């Protein structure tokens, strides 16, 4: 062998070893990374206006028979996490985020927080329509647009101890917002509510609800409302628990100008229940409801009370209005199963009575089967019974 051949072979081997070792430090790309990098050039940017976007690989059947790996855009909207194909905009899947509602009892501060959440998450606007005796806001929020053709007013909690209906209003509202694609009578819930605005007052008597929930009343009020009504001291806490009136000791549902003068309340002075007040609409809560009812062309009103699982539909002597009230009752009866209450069991001066005298078909729905405050275990069946009331009433007003 030539003496220069051995070094040449050694040099050649060193070069080959160097090339081999070079591959071991080259960055290693996974198949997933390669696909995403390759798609960066051919996937146009069509993302919704969000910040910041999160891209993940996923599959989509857009425009081709076989599934393709695509960029997946993750974002939140209306309480949902949605996964959207960045290439074609199709929704791949969606998941519900944590709900704002779901409890069966809400305090005043919790109601305010939920309404803030409704606005931030769903764009549901709300406002105060007035102040209670103790200065609490009486809120209304609107499920739908004020420019809608049809308007419906729903109010709950006008009696302090009936605060479970406040939870029913808030929980049902979020159910409709998150389940608009649910079918009811051959149409989606969103279709039923289209071109309709529900004006919902979750608690018309925030002071009464606070008293019933906390059993807190000022010493002066305890003396005037309870001891002067011969309530023994040992019964004070239980009496506060079943408080119906506002903080002035007036039963708001006996304070409206609907045969108020003919009503003998059997009390004649401020109390935890039944006192009709010194004159019609004497209370700021009553005045707030009256003012707001005049603001929109309401085609129906619903008042939620407890208890009885039944519906009051009659008042006054206008045959045309009564005919529409009964028709509205039939629509609500079909979805709740609640029977009607006969006329002879009516008491005047309630909100429903006053609204009917204004020519608005109106109902009072009594939820639950035992006296309020309702036990928590009753809530589940109450929500089930009332789940489709909004859809049924929206359809009814459009049929008139």
Q: What is the DSSP string of 199-216?
A: EEES-S-HHHHHHHHH--
- CA 268 to CA 199: how far, in whole Å? 34
**Contact present, 108 and 210 (Cβ < 8 Å):** yes
Residue carrying the six token digits 């039963």: 251
Domains in the chain (CATH in brackets) are 31-96 (no CATH), 108-211+274-399 (3.40.630.10)
User: What is the mean pLDDT of each successive set of 10 residues along the chain, which is 400 residues long?
Assistant: 50 47 35 34 37 49 51 53 65 68 95 95 95 96 97 98 98 94 94 97 97 86 73 85 94 98 93 95 98 98 97 95 98 98 81 98 98 97 98 97
Name the residue among 373, 351, 93 with its Cα closest to residue 241.
Answer: 373
DSSP state of 121: I
Q: How many helices (H) and strands (E) does the chain have?
A: 13, 13
Q: What is the pLDDT of residue 31?
A: 36
Using a 10 angstrom Cβ sphere, with 0-12 exposed, 13-18 middle and 19 or more buried, the burial of residue 117 is middle
Instruction: Quote the CA–CA distance of 302 and 313 in Å, as a whole number.
Output: 10
pLDDT given at position 229:
76
Separation of CA 61 from chain center: 36
The DSSP code for 101 is -
Measured CA to CA, the distance from residue 103 to residue 106 in angstroms comes to 7
- For residue 118, the model assigns a pLDDT of 94
Quick one: pLDDT at residue 58? 55
The C-alpha angle with vertex 398 and arms to 395 and 400, in degrees rounded to 5, equals 115
Q: For position 99, what pLDDT does the model report?
A: 84
CA distance 121 to 78: 5
pLDDT of residue 59: 58
Residue 237 token pair: 């806490």
The pLDDT value recorded for residue 345 is: 64
Cβ(174)–Cβ(105) below 8 Å:
no
Question: CA–CA separation, 104 vs 382, rounded Å?
Answer: 11
Q: What is the pLDDT of residue 21?
A: 42
**Angstrom distance (rounded) from CA 60 to CA 80:** 20
| Residues 117 and 215 sit within 8 Å (Cβ to Cβ) | no
pLDDT of 230: 77
């Amino acid at each position: 062998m030539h003496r220069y051949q051995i070094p040449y072979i050694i040099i050649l081997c060193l070069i080959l070893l160097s090339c081999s070792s070079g591959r071991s430090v080259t960055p290693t790309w996974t198949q997933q990374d390669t696909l995403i990098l390759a798609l960066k050039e051919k996937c146009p940017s069509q993302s919704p206006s969000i910040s910041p976007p999160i891209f993940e690989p996923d599959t989509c059947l857009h425009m081709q028979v076989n599934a393709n790996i695509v960029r997946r855009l993750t974002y939140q909207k209306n309480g949902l996490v949605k996964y959207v194909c960045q290439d074609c905009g199709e929704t791949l899947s969606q998941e519900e985020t944590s709900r704002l509602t779901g409890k069966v009892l809400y305090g005043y501060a919790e109601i305010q927080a939920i309404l803030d959440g409704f606005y931030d998450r769903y764009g549901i606007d709300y406002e105060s329509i007035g102040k209670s005796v103790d200065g609490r806001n009486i809120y209304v929020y609107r499920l739908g647009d004020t420019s809608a053709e049809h308007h419906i007013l729903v109010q709950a909690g006008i009696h302090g101890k009936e605060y479970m209906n406040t939870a029913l209003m808030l929980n049902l509202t979020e159910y409709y917002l998150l389940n608009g694609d649910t079918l009811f009578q051959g149409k989606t819930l969103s279709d039923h509510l289209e071109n309709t605005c529900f004006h919902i007052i979750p608690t018309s008597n925030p002071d009464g609800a606070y008293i019933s929930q906390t059993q807190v009343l000022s010493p002066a009020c305890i003396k005037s409302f309870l001891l002067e009504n011969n309530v023994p001291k040992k019964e004070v806490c239980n009496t506060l628990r079943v408080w119906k009136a506002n903080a002035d000791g007036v039963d708001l549902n006996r304070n409206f100008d609907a045969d108020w003068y003919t009503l003998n309340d059997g009390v004649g002075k401020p109390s935890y229940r039944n006192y009709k007040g010194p004159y019609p609409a004497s209370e700021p809560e009553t005045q707030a409801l009256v003012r707001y009812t005049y603001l929109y062309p309401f085609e129906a009103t619903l008042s939620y009370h407890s208890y009885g699982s039944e519906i009051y539909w009659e008042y006054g002597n206008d045959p045309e209005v009564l005919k529409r009230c009964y028709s509205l009752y039939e629509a609500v009866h079909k979805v709740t199963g609640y029977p009607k209450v006969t006329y002879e069991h009516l008491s005047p001066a309630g909100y429903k009575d006053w609204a009917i005298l204004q020519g608005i078909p109106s109902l009072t729905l009594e939820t639950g089967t035992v006296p309020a405050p309702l036990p928590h275990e009753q809530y589940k069946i109450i929500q089930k019974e009332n789940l489709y009331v909004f859809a049924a009433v929206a359809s009814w007003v459009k049929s008139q």
